[in-house]
Amino acid sequence: MRRAAGRRAARGEDRSAPERLGGPRRAVRGVVFLIQVLHSYATSSEPDGRIKVACGNRRASRCPACSRTYAADTYHLIRAGLIGDESKGVPSTVRDHPRVFATLTAPSFGPVHNRPDSGACRCGTAHLTGDPILGTPLDPERYDYAHAVLWNNNAPALWKRFAIYLRRKLAKAAGLTRRDFESVARVSFGKVAEYQRRGAVHFHAVIRIDGPDGADSPPPAWATVALLDRAIHDAARDASVPLGPSGDQPGRVLRWGEQIDVRPIRAFGDDSEITEQAVASYVAKYATKAAESTESVDRRLIDRGELERYDVPAHTRRLIETCWDLDGAYPEMLLAHWSHMLGFRGHFSSKSPTYSTTLGTLRQARTDFRAAQAREELRERLLAGGLPDLDDLPDEETLVLAHWSFAGSGLTPGESLLAAGVAREIHENRITAREELATLRDREEDQAWTAC
């Protein structure tokens, strides 16, 4: 080491280092890299010195633009599980699996104003569509508001019980044990929650029977739509969530309502069947809704007194107040925390792991696409300036430095107006593109039939 130091000194290297450092006996040695800045960006170049990102809120009442993106992602997720999509990891053979569109509703908590198929409401009035009194109790004092909010709160748990019972019913119908059933078949689903006018949640679900490996494997021969239909009705009848007494509240057993609708899904349905397109569109529509149909508030209430700031219907107000009244009796349910949702605290849209792709995968694909566009634009600017191509630089020689800090949320009035115009234009362009695509497909089908 001394000889090496002597050679460096003889060549005139590092002579200034000991002098600069004051002749220490030990020194920390390092390596200096010369950094060439290929691209830089600062928000100071933006009109207001900040960069804006989408809020990502799924609720249409909070952000129409982001909710449309969420609805589009949900549509493609559900659609891929119905007809298959190789780009999303779902084979087209899934279209041949038994699948139905099921609706499970809440039980009655008391008679409400309605529009029956024949005759008038029990109040003696033939209500018109959109009448604000629809869904409200005939006698509010006799309506079981406590049961209603407790049912909403436990609806996700009741769905979980239903899914367990459904597998048991299918296994029993096939003459199999639960373990044997899982080795030959699997139940997959995608569901969405919707509020009825009376403020009770119900679920719409695409339910499918797959082989043991999910969508990639064919279902067993005994799996039919009729068998699935019967098993859904039996499972919904038997599933329950018991609640013990608490405070002044009696014990209850929460169950599904008597109205259970199961409809086969076909590519082109008749009056008794629903099409794949209609199912995907329906689920996507309600994936961006909350409790708007009940005119509830669309944000969390910090305290009970805050409700006075909002003009909500009497029935909805009573449901919200009941959540606060029961919060102390059922602290683990967080009823006050979810009072703006009338007690419901589950996911509005969810699926089983094997049903289809995921929302995260769809979002990542969109992010990667935008990143590739931005990278290509940067590459063109670098080449135009005589700088090296990013693709020619090894990863270990490319260093990315970034620092971001939160500056606030919301838009100015002018920015809000501009954003609304941009969002509306994008939405209209998408609708036009879909219509043109449908027309093009119809034209191609007509040409194919003509050629035959």
**Of 309 and 298, more confident:** 309
**Of 161 and 33, more confident:** 161
Q: Given CA atoms 113, 115, 121, 123 in this order, what sign does their dihedral have?
A: positive
For residue 53, pLDDT over 90 is answered with no
Buried b (16+ CB within 10 A) or exposed e, 262-297: bbbbeeebeeebbbbbebbebbbbbbbbbbebbbbb
Which of 71-80, 179-188, 240-249, 417-426 is predicted least confidently?
417-426
Determine, yes or no, domain membership for 284.
yes
Q: Parallel, antiparallel, or unpaired for β 99-104 and 201-210?
A: antiparallel
Question: What is the rounded end-to-end Cα distance, in angstroms, of the chain?
Answer: 87
Q: Burial level of 242, CB count in 10 A (0-12/13-18/19+)?
A: exposed
For residue 3, pLDDT over 80 is answered with no
* CB of 187 closer than 8 Å to CB of 99: no
Which of 73-87, 190-204, 345-359, 387-401 is predicted least confidently?
387-401
Determine, yes or no, domain membership for 381.
no
For residue 131, pLDDT over 80 is answered with yes
pLDDT bucket at 112, cuts 50 / 70 / 90: very high
Question: Which tokens is 138 given?
Answer: 């005939």
Which of 52-56, 176-180, 246-250, 439-443 is predicted least confidently?
439-443
pLDDT in tens, 247-276: 899 999 999 999 999 999 986 655 556 788
Beta bridge mates, 211:
214
Question: For residue 1, what pLDDT is reported?
Answer: 45
| Mean pLDDT in residue range 328-345 | 95
For residue 12, pLDDT over 70 is answered with no
Q: Parallel, antiparallel, or unpaired for β 260-266 and 274-275?
A: parallel
Q: Between helices 145-173 and 225-238, what is the axis angle to 10°?
A: 140
pLDDT in tens, 29-43: 666 555 566 667 777
Determine, yes or no, domain membership for 168.
yes
Region of 127 please: left (phi>0), alpha (psi -120 to 50) or beta: beta
Query: Identity (one letter) of the amino acid at 154?
Result: N
Q: What are phi and psi of 210, to 5 degrees?
A: -115, 180
Region of 89 please: left (phi>0), alpha (psi -120 to 50) or beta: left
Question: For residue 2, what pLDDT is reported?
Answer: 43
Question: For residue 407, what pLDDT is reported?
Answer: 74
Determine, yes or no, domain membership for 171.
yes
The single residue listed with the structure tokens 């670098």 is: 382
* CB of 122 closer than 8 Å to CB of 145: no
Determine, yes or no, domain membership for 262.
yes
| Mean pLDDT in residue range 1-7 | 47
Q: What is the mean pLDDT of the chain?
A: 84
Distance CA 292, CA 199 (A): 10
Determine, yes or no, domain membership for 401.
no
Question: For residue 336, what pLDDT is reported?
Answer: 96
Determine, yes or no, domain membership for 379.
no
For residue 452, pLDDT over 60 is answered with no
Question: Which tokens is 130 given?
Answer: 């959109």
- Extract long-range pairs of 268-276: CB within 8 Å, 24+ residues apart: 274/101, 276/79, 276/82, 276/83
Count of domains for the chain: 1
Question: For residue 9, what pLDDT is reported?
Answer: 47
| Whether this model's pTM surpasses 0.85 | no
* CB of 24 closer than 8 Å to CB of 16: no
Strand ranges in 9-118 using DSSP code E only, listed in sequence order: 99-104
* CB of 323 closer than 8 Å to CB of 339: yes
Query: Identity (one letter) of the amino acid at 389?
Result: D
Helix spans in 188-312 (H): 225-238, 276-287
Determine, yes or no, domain membership for 372.
no
Kindly write down the DSSP assignment for every residue of 387-425, as one continuous string: PPPGGGS-GGG---------------HHHHHHHHHHHHH
Distance CA 284, CA 74 (A): 5
The boundaries of the domain holding residue 108 are 64-116+133-357
Question: For residue 404, what pLDDT is reported?
Answer: 75
pLDDT in tens, 67-84: 888 888 888 899 999 999
Question: 10 Å Cβ neighbour count for 432?
Answer: 10
pLDDT in tens, 399-409: 666 777 777 77
Distance CA 381, CA 390 (A): 11
